[in-house]
Structure 1
Amino acid sequence: MPEQRHAFTVSAGPGAVRRAREETAIRLARCGIATGSALSDAVLLVVSELVTNVLRHTADRSPTADVTVEWSTGQLVVAVADHDPRLPAIEVATPGAGLGTVRELTAWYDGTLGVEPHWTGQGKRLLATFRIPASAVRPTTELP
């Protein structure tokens, strides 16, 4: 399947995490990731954690969270951007909570968790990468 990039924005507020999960699930299906696969479930949990962090830590500075799902051969990258320039200390994130959970899930799929200033110069992007196991990809005959 050729490289794909899907992006959408959710307003920071009630229902933001649910909307981000729903939209991400749609984008994963379009990329050929099997619904209900372990990878799909891991990615949805990562999106939940990253959008929750926007709500919890940057709501006063960021009225939205921008989510991007990028797929290329063998790799999936999910990014969540906000308008707060403060960069979290992802390397010291507590295991089992928030960014620690995200780091653990990406590592499970031979991926990484990273953070970078947003390309606009305002805010940041947290990037979660995953190696896509063959078991998570739907046959092309099943694509919507």
Structure 2
Amino acid sequence: MTRAREAVVKRFGEVGVAPGSAFADAVLLVVSELVVNVLRHAPRSPVADVGITVGAGQLVVSVADAEPRMPDLEPGATGAGLQLLAELASEYDGDVSVEPAVGHDGKVVLVRFRMPS
């Protein structure tokens, strides 16, 4: 988890996120929670691929794993971790989604944020 957070912090300058800001803290909390979810719920997945992209005024955190089971993102069906992520994303006019991985078994969880001005 620490390596994933450090890798994301290194990208903050490239993508226009002010280190130490409330927005940066929210993004890092999302990264931590998604990596913990892989460790907790995808034990067959040897790695989690963490990505961060920016475009069209949005920052997207993606975490892919090799567990094909998709989490239920319906309100009331998620665990506390995914509920927290949904709340954080909504504070920045964003959302949480999950989709099948492309090119291998597994899934990608995406958390989108509108970039603060």
Alignment correspondent of 1:13: none
CA separation in 2, counterparts of 1:90 and 1:25? 27
What does 1:4-43 align with in structure 2 at a 5 Å threshold?
17-43=1-27
1:55-106 Cα shifts (integer Å, max 9, x gaps): 01112x1000001101114110110000010000122224xx2111101000
What does 1:57-136 align with in structure 2 at a 5 Å threshold?
57-59=41-43, 61-91=44-74, 92-94=77-79, 97-134=80-117
Runs of 4+ in 1 over 2 A off after TM superposition: none
8 Å CA contact 1:65, 1:81 repeated in 2: yes
Secondary structure of the residue aligned to 1:85 is coil
For normalisation by structure 2, the TM-score amounts to 0.94
Unaligned runs of 5+ in 1: 1-16, 135-144
Unaligned runs of 5+ in 2: none
**Percent identity of the aligned residues?**
53
CA separation in 2, counterparts of 1:41 and 1:78? 13
C-alpha RMSD of matched pairs (Å): 1.0
Alignment correspondent of 1:47: 31
> For residue 18 of structure 1, what is the amino acid of its counterpart?
T
8 Å CA contact 1:58, 1:84 repeated in 2: yes
For normalisation by structure 1, the TM-score amounts to 0.77
The one of the two structures with greater contact order (alpha-carbon pairs below 8 A, sep at least 6) is: 1
> For residue 85 of structure 1, what is the amino acid of its counterpart?
P
